[in-house]
Every structure is written in C-alpha cells, then in structure tokens.
Amino acid sequence: MSFLTSLLNALPGAVAQGLIWGIMAIGVYITYRILDVADLTVDGSLATGGAVCVMLIRAGVSPWPALLCAMLAGMLAGLVTGLFHTKCGIPAILAGILTQLSLYSVNLRIMESKANQAVSVDKYDLLVSQRYVRTFSPVGELLTKNPLPLLLLFTAAVIALLYWFFGTEKGCSIRATGANQNMARAQGIDTSANVVLGLMLSNGLVALSGALLAQYQGSSDVQMGRGAIVIGLAAVIIGEVVFGKLFINFGLRLFAVSIGAILYYIVLQAALQLGLNTNDLKLVTALIVAVFLAIPYWKGKAFHGKAQKGGAHHA
C-alpha cells in the first residue's frame, strides 16, 4: 500500500518531467523519424538551452525572452551540425558527436566556467518550478504556480505548430527529404538545406526543453544533457509501441511521443520506489530502450521474414 501512495505522490512530478522531456523527444522525432538522421547533438544542445536560459534569468532577463534565446541557441547548434554534415561531408552521426563535444566547452563558457548555476524560484520569477508541482490550490493560483497547466499548454502549442508546419509546402519537402533524397532532388528540393533546417528545428525544441527543465529543477548543469538522446528515443519508441496502431494522424503521433516520455518517467518512478539504485538509472534506461528497439525487429523476423523477402523481390 505504501508503494502505491508514494508512487501516487511522485506522479505529478513524473508527469511534469515527462512533459518537459516530451518536448525534447518531439525534437528527436523530427530528426530520427522524419529526417531519418541520427542526431547526437541533442545531448549538448539540451544543456545549452538550460545554460542560456538560466544565465539570462540571472542577468535579469524575464523568463519568456530567456526561453526564446535558449531556443535560438539550440537552433544555432543544429545549424553547426547541419553544416558539418552537408557542407563538410561528415556523416551525420559523427557531425552530431563533434558538435555535442564542442558544446560542452561552450556551455561551460556560457555558465561562466561553473559546472552548475542555480536559479532559485525564491529570487526569480520562473515559469515552471518543481516546488509547486504538488500544489493544487484554487484555480487562480494553480494557473500561476503549478507547472503542469503551462507545460500542457506548451506541449499542445508545439504539437499544433509542428502539425501545421509539416503540412506546408516547406514541411512536406522536409518529409520528402527524409523519405527519399533521390526523389526529393528530382522534384527540385534542396535536400541539404532541408536537412540543415530540420536539424535546427529539432535542436531548437531540444534547447527549449532544456530551458524549461533548468527552470523546473532550479538550476542548469553542464551534465544535464548526458544520455538525453536515449531518453528521447525511449519516448519516441514507447509512444510508437503503445499507440502506433491507434494513432495514424501526424499530430497524434507527436502526442504519442509526449505520452511516451510521461510513461517513461512514471515507470522510472515506480522502479525507484521499488528500490532501484539511482546510480543504475542510466543502465536500466539503456536496457529498456534496447529492448523496445529490438521488439519490432524480432517481430519482423518471427512473422514477416519470408513475406518481406518476397516483397522486396517483387518491388
């Protein structure tokens, strides 16, 4: 019984974390699923978003413009990876690793050579804070203090904007770039420019998520992005495994990614309540993602092995 109550207690926090990381995971979805590029920049750009946001708020900038600047910084990181990849011919995965590595130094510079910079909700007017995540007071106050409504609104806005964008001519051309570069170029689409644009969009969202996360936990840390890509992938894949058959519409698929992130954090909380050592978290996360990545492959082998061969031959 105590397990259930403590899990219930931890639920609002897990949902808030899930919503924040969900925005990051939607960024990963853009590169991993739409562009078909494995982008490892995100481990760096998440921390960049946090660093920029926290330092600006500490300097007296209000949270909204700070959030916007964090997003722009993330887009700049995506631009660098994109140029490494398209202009220098470096494989995408390596280009991302290079940017990620260099961002470690950049982030330390942004944070004035400190590995950690605090931004207390007592001193600054933050948009979201962990402290009030279990505050369910009357409506007026709840809207201003509890982070959940704002995070929900943020997620909905991000999904709505992306749904619109990927339905436009430009958005369609990015999807075509990810689906078949040969076809895209034959239809007059500048695939290199689109890959760069997609990476910028993705890392902008990742940095936005980092900025929200830093406010939520009251500090930015140079290590906060470590393993972010795996959490992002976990959210994308959990979302697909759970809702893949149900959600065909693109907007719903993004929604599924966000729910995937929330589920991930709820499962994580449950595991912690059951006595999992915090130090083993990353190991467990990696194993969970590995299993979820393997499931579609195993399924394909078990049921469609022969059919797939025939299909490929026909086509």
Partner 1 sequence: MLELKNICKTFNPGTINAKTALNDLSLTLADGDFVTVIGGNGAGKSTMLNAIAGVFPVDSGSILIDGQDVTKLPEHKRAALLGRVFQDPMMGTAPTMMIEENLALAARRGQRRGLKWGITPLERADYKELLRTLDLGLEDRLTSKVGLLSGGQRQALTLLMASLKQPKLLLLDEHTAALDPKTAAKVLALSDQIVQENRLTTLMITHNMKDAIAHGNRLIMMDAGRVVVDISGEEKKKLTVPDLLALFSSASGSTEANDKLLLS
| Choices 21-29, 47-55, 173-181, 238-246 (CB under 8 A): range interacting with partner 1 | 173-181
Q: Does residue 171 belong to the site contacting partner 1 (CB under 8 A)?
A: yes
Q: Does residue 184 belong to the site contacting partner 1 (CB under 8 A)?
A: yes
Q: How far is the CB of 188 from partner 1 (least distance, A)?
A: 4
Is residue 61 exposed (0-12), middle (13-18) or buried (19+ Cβ within 10 Å)? middle
| Cα–Cα dist 188/116, whole Å | 47
Of residues 185-244, which lie at the interface with partner 1 (CB under 8 A)? 185-191
Q: Does residue 176 belong to the site contacting partner 1 (CB under 8 A)?
A: yes
Q: How far is the CB of 165 from partner 1 (least distance, A)?
A: 8
| Residue the block writes with tokens 């995540």 | 133
| Choices 100-108, 176-184, 227-235, 259-267 (CB under 8 A): range interacting with partner 1 | 176-184
79 C-beta neighbours (distance < 10 Å), count: 17
Tokens of 113: 């050579």
First to last CA, the chain: 57
User: How many residues contact partner 1, by CB under 8 A?
Assistant: 25
| Contact pick of 115, 157, 183, 286 for partner 1 (by CB under 8 A) | 183
Q: Does residue 271 belong to the site contacting partner 1 (CB under 8 A)?
A: no
Question: Is residue 260 within 8 Å of residue 235, measured between CB atoms?
Answer: yes
Question: Is residue 21 within 8 Å of residue 265, measured between CB atoms?
Answer: yes
Q: Does residue 173 belong to the site contacting partner 1 (CB under 8 A)?
A: yes
134 C-beta neighbours (distance < 10 Å), count: 14
Is residue 312 exposed (0-12), middle (13-18) or buried (19+ Cβ within 10 Å)? exposed
Q: Does residue 83 belong to the site contacting partner 1 (CB under 8 A)?
A: no
Q: Does residue 245 belong to the site contacting partner 1 (CB under 8 A)?
A: no
| Choices 8-16, 163-171, 207-215, 289-297 (CB under 8 A): range interacting with partner 1 | 163-171
Q: Which residues bind partner 1 (CB under 8 A)?
A: 165, 167-173, 175-176, 178-180, 182-191, 314-315
